[in-house]
Structure 1
Amino acid sequence: MPVQTDILIIGGGLAGLTAALHLQQAGIEVVLVEKDPYPHHKVCGEYISNEVLPYLKWLNADPSVLHPSVISKMQFSTVSGRSIAARLPMGGFGVSRYQLDHFLYQKFLAKGGVVIQDTVSSVVFEKDNFLVLTQSETQYTARQVIGAYGKRSSIDLKLKRKFIQQKSPFLAVKAHYKGEFEDELVALHNFKGGYCGASKIEDQKINICYLANYETFKIHKNITAYQENVLYQNKHLKSIFEKSELLFDAPITISQLSFGVREAVIDHILMIGDTAALIHPLCGNGMAMAIHSAGICSELLLLFLKGEIPDRTSMEKRYIICWNQHFKSRLLMGNTLSALFEKEYLTEKLLGGMVRLPFILPLIIKKTHGHSLTVPK
């Protein structure tokens, strides 16, 4: 017999765990399926805007217990080394996914949450319910399934999502370091074929994560050679790497990153976080978007389960509208900036414009960040 639950969440990353805590707090039965054991590292910029702090505190998941770094300013530089800096209007904090995901996971477990270490192999919607099958051949039935499995999965192939069938030129690399780096700063440094973000996280560690064009990357024999031959062309990046010591055995990578249009709802599955849309690292706010999308999805689901939204179709339409209202412009800004930064001469012109008109950079930052989240009643 299938295991029954109200909500089944596929993926126990930041978005999935946030939704699990929100629904659990409302008394809804939730089963979360995550393929990897906790804790584990993920390729991520590990900067979060303060816009989500009130919501995390409402979930009784205040990240301050993890001793995150405080981030209040941003620096941007071009390949030539020219740079500009600005205050972050709302500010933010730096914390590793290794610590934050595990923290939320422990919160969910402590309140009786169910986490299954397994991989979902299929999801079928029929007769107003979902049938979910995992690789261990366990079956689940649920009133609603939430997709929170990250950037890409074999599930995307089965759902015939367009982006999964298209090759992407992007590769991301991430590692933690110890060394010299300015406090309260998130830096974004452009290099030929990509851009690199750096900021402090907990315990004075430095997170360095960059997005590279795979065609330029593959001509080098390894990551170290690529960094020294390409990233070091930007003097700021050269200084950061030369003053830092790698804390991982080796950097971790992920390829085939697609930043194209995705569906917020497909086959009645509600998608949240990177599963719904992958924002360019240039916007530096993917973690806040993941948390925010989990909150929007959870609130609408609760209204649907209480009968305040009359049917599934209405709920799905409202979710798509809310998603677009909160995130569509951010995604557009990310795509636009990425297209500009792929062309060195345009990047230099953009920086020159920001130097002459200093208000431009704070304006761009505002366009990639949201307002402080309203705490649910």
Structure 2
Amino acid sequence: MVNTEIVIIGGGLAGLTAGIHLSQNGISVTIVEKNEYPKHKVCGEYISNEVKPYLESLGIPIQNAHPTSITQLEFATLYGTSLHQKLPLGGFGISRYTLDYILYQKAIESGCNIIKSTVETCIFEEDQFIVTTQNQEKYLAKIVLGAFGKRANLDYYFHRSFIQKQSPWLAVKNHYNGDFPEDVVGLYHFKGGYCGVSKVENNQINICYITTYKDFKRYKNIADFQKAVLFKNQKLKQILENSSPIFDKPLTISQISFEKKEPVSDHVLMIGDTAGLIHPLCGNGMAMAIHSAKIASELSIDFLQNKKSRATLEQIYTETWNTNFKARLRMGRNLSAILEQPMLTLIVLQVIVFFPFIIKQIIKRTHGTPIS
């Protein structure tokens, strides 16, 4: 049995950020992650500047990767109408391959113990956790943070309600060589979904789209789907036809759920996508994951310093999570529901194009203020 103050299940964006924050405050942290670093992931790879001061306060050398600086939004519908909008805070483009590896290196430097494995069981008894990994290693911890992503076997283990429902959404991503403005994030509508396009480091273009499985399964493969569906948006067709893919095969992920999730399950504080997934159309999932790691880390430190009881910790975390993210997630679910109805999508998108202030309101309601 290995004693550690905190176990973090999952070493992605939220898990690594929390590990760095906690370790830098003298907390013993063990992160259990099933994948090797670095690794590409299906992700929009745009981060709002609202979390930039916080990342800088942790000494995370994001600028060493030379991320792009994104200040503009281009929004184009399937029907040829489009608009450009300045992003109030702006953001930066960086691949998960690079960002997660930077965070991994910083976590090691900060003192985190990172083990490659998966968690099989997480038992809470006598006010502490016993976490058992696939290779039967056991960790005794005072706090467990769940950062195991959008959907995992542990969701079944914790009997989380959302995991019982089938989700219609899947996502596809590839990196490309081609010509696209460095300061723009593009959102391009097609029937049944939308595609995000933005530059990341090394002059590469990240193209990531989300669609329903119902629409996708009508075609034999990804290439056929893109030509038959994505190419109907002329701007998106131009981008794809003038770009060459870098990956041998696109990355895909299915069963993406935007259903409500509990911020706390079986006394485990959930962070990042494990606590709630915002529709990518809102463009703020990565910033929310980082922000949630900050909230959980600060409250965990207070708990370990005997400033809060466990009941108070869980209550405040849930309340703080809801205050910061509940309305944003609701907006994301509403957008998701609209995209599943073609005629309603047409009406809403045309209204947005003719009344640009609506897109400003969507940005405002799905983004926060700078945190440090």
Q: TM-score, normalised by structure 1?
A: 0.97
- SS state at 2:261 partner: coil
Q: Which amino acid counterpart does residue 270 of structure 1 have in structure 2?
A: L
Separation (CA, whole Å) in 2 of partners of 1:345 and 1:168: 21
> Corresponding residue for 2:356?
358
State the Cα deviation string for residues 55-99 of structure 1 (Å, max 9, x = none).
000000141111001100111122212111100000000000000
Matched with 1:343 is 341
Question: Secondary structure at 1:254's aligned position in 2?
Answer: strand
Aligned to 1:219, the other structure's residue is in SS state: coil
**CA displacement 1:229-256 (0-9 Å, x = unmatched):** 1111111111111011000010010111
Equivalent residue for 1:321?
A: 319
For residues 355 and 216 of structure 2, the distance between their equivalents in structure 1, rounded to whole angstroms, comes to 34
Which residue type is aligned with residue 312 of structure 1?
R
Q: Could you tell me which amino acid in structure 2 is paired with residue 149 of structure 1?
A: F
**SS of the residue 1:98 aligns to:** helix
Alignment-derived partner of residue 157 in structure 1 = 156
- Aligned-partner SS, 1:288: helix
Between the aligned partners of 1:331 and 1:211, the Cα distance in structure 2 is: 17
Q: Are 1:252 and 2:251 matched, yes or no? A: yes
Residue pair 2:61, 2:102 contacting (<8 A) in 1 also: no
Any residues of structure 2 matched to 1:187-226 within 5 Å, and which?
187-226=186-225
- Rounded Cα–Cα distance in structure 2 between residues aligned with 1:111 and 1:293: 19
Give the aligned partner of residue 14 of structure 1: 13
- Counterpart CA distance in 2 for 1:16 and 1:113 is 11
Q: Which amino acid aligns with 1:232?
A: F
CA offsets, 1:263-300, max 9 Å, x none? Answer: 10000000000000111111111000000000000011
Structure 1 residue 238 corresponds to structure 2 residue 234: no
Deviations 1:170-227 (A, max 9, x none): 1111110010112211111111111111100001100011111001111211110110
What is the CA–CA distance in structure 2 between the aligned matches of 1:274 and 1:148, rounded to whole Å? 7
The CA RMSD measured in Å over matched residues stands at 1.0
The residue identity in structure 2 corresponding to 1:144 is I
What per-residue deviation string (whole Å, max 9, x for no partner) do you get for residues 328-376 of structure 1?
A: 1111111112222333333333333334333221121111111101x2x
d(CA) in 1 for partners of 2:59 and 2:154?
Answer: 32
Read off the aligned partner of 1:271 and give its amino acid letter. Answer: M
Q: Separation in 1 of the partners of 2:245 and 2:68?
A: 19
Alignment-derived partner of residue 265 in structure 1? 264
SS at match of 2:249: coil
In the alignment, the residues of structure 1 paired with residue 185 and residue 57 of structure 2 have an alpha-carbon distance, to the nearest angstrom, of 26
Q: Secondary structure at the match of 1:209?
A: strand
Taking the TM superposition and a 5 Å limit, the aligned residue runs for 1:1-377 are: 2-309=1-308, 311-373=309-371, 375=372
SS in structure 2 of the partner of residue 207 of structure 1: strand
Name the aligned partner's letter for residue 70 of structure 1: S
Which stretch of the first structure deviates more once superposed, 356-365 or 129-138? 356-365
Following TM superposition, by how much is the alpha carbon of 1:262 offset from its aligned partner in structure 2, in angstroms? 0.4
Q: What is the distance in 2 between the residues matched to 1:268 and 1:370?
A: 27
Matching residue's letter, 2:71? S
Inter-partner Cα distance in structure 2 for 1:318 and 1:112: 27
Distance 1:240 1:58 in 2: 37
Using the size of structure 2 for normalisation, the TM-score is: 0.98
Q: Which amino acid aligns with 2:231?
A: Y
Contact conserved, 1:47 with 1:92, CA < 8 A, in 2? Answer: yes
For residues 49 and 303 of structure 1, the distance between their equivalents in structure 2, rounded to whole angstroms, comes to 28
In 2, the alpha carbon distance for the partners of 1:47 and 1:297 equals: 23
Partner amino acid for 1:196? C
DSSP-derived class of the 1:221 partner: coil
Deviations 1:41-63 (A, max 9, x none): 11100000000000000000141
Contact kept, 8 Å, 1:94 with 1:201, in 2: the verdict is yes
Q: Distance in 2 between matches of 1:344 and 1:120?
A: 41
Contact 2:68 2:201 in 1 (8 A): yes
Q: Structure 2 unaligned runs (5+)?
A: none
Identity %: 54
Cα 1:257–1:305 shift into 2, 3 Å:
same
Determine if contact 2:176/2:246 at 8 Å carries over to the other structure.
yes
**1:238 counterpart letter in structure 2:** K
Counterpart contact for 1:78–1:347, Cα < 8 Å:
no
In structure 1, the gaps of 5 or more residues are: none
SS in 2 for 1:323: helix
